[in-house]
Amino acid sequence: MPYNRGSVVLVLFPDSNLKTAKRRPALVVQSNNIGTGLSQTIIAIGIRFDCCSLY
């Protein structure tokens, strides 16, 4: 199923134990007419680190 740029999609992410997974939102950032012929979609995902600071 093709997605348009700006669409919010749900992506299945495995937990660290690799036994369970959750659906997380992601934003489609690729152009609508990328024209590569590949069955892929480029997305952006927000990641939050609760364990440590990035500074």
Share of the chain above pLDDT 70, in %: 85
Asked if 45 and 11 touch (Cβ cutoff 8 Å), the reply is yes
- Per the CB < 8 A criterion, the answer to whether 41 and 30 are in contact is yes
Give dist(CA 28, CA 10) in Å, integer.
10
Residue 2's pLDDT is 72
Average pLDDT, the chain: 81
The token pair that represents 26 in the structure block: 């992601």
pLDDT over 60 (residue 24)? yes
CA angle 28, 2, 19 (to 5 degrees): 70
Tens-place pLDDT, residues 1-21: 678 889 999 999 888 888 999
Reference 4, options 41, 36, 35; nearest CA is 41
